[in-house]
Structure 1
Amino acid sequence: MGEVVNAIVASSLHSLILRLRSTGSNASAARSPTSALGFRPKNVTQEMVDQIHAMFPDIPQDNIRYDLLRTGNVELTSNKILEKGFLDAPPPAYYTLYPRTQGQAQANQQFVANATPMTPKDNLISRYRLQARLDTAPELSENEVGGKAKWEDTAEKREASLRERKAQMILAARQRLLSKQAQAEGGSSASSQNS
């Protein structure tokens, strides 16, 4: 009978030790950046984040850092912003590994407070001050609008290039809207003449 009790105690201790080891390894795996983010993060310095944030101040620093963790390259991240116009927001696991500092939270709140909301009377033409270019804007094909960005030598040239691409996209969108409205008016007047 004593041997049976010893065997039960030994097996329960053995299972307890196995459970403790498995929960310990899961806890350490959950804390590793590779398992939390789903990729092996590259080395990112604050200078890299600041460099991109200086070029694109409307992109949150957390989004920039998250994309840099993936790419590890300022140029790739900048090109992604130029092509897409935004960067994906980091997942919740990112904030457990890279918690926001008090300064970042205040900067984000200040950015939101300073952002001017668009009123219903406001439009992109007036917001980007493109009224003077409305009459002089050439007709652009879909392939010419925006286009692929060329990496410029200086930050000022990159910023000017981005501004020009935004202006072209806004003006092209306006042209499309006006042509659709003209087609709709032409179709409705033709149908009213037929009846």
Structure 2
Amino acid sequence: MEDLFSILIAVGAIYGFYRWFSSASSYSLPSNSNGLSNIRQADVQALRTLFPQIDNASLVYDLVQTRSIERTAENVLRRGRLAQPPSGFTLPSHLDVEPLTETLTASRAATGKDASNLIEKYHLKDKDSTAINPSASWGNTTTEREKAFKDRKAKMILEARKKLIDKKKSEIL
């Protein structure tokens, strides 16, 4: 009787271990061994919109590794780039995202601002921050408030430029 009880416990333990190990391995692997079936084109497009300088293959490769848009974005922000995929990595056709050059060109044309820096954008090349005195009071009309806002913005840009120039001069000396 004691032997039968011991055998039943041993068989139950073996069965339990078998079920536990077989179910854990089936949940850990994705349906596709390389994980590309879990990546959506919308995820790649969202990351491509945020980081147009990163190529699609690197984005998809990092998405396969991290399985998270947030982690991939953090990797780009932390390192400034993503690791290149291995030579055998092929980008599936359903994850091809068209380049954003047309979108970027259209957005620049819509805004009409192709200036390379803030000084050119706001036409502040010949101005000095001491010459601009924005009004400290709230304007009565929208045009007065808009002008005061633009003056404050110009003054901040020029002051930041002056601080940067002074910092560069002190580093050189």
- Please say which structure displays the higher CA radius of gyration: 2
Higher helix share: 1
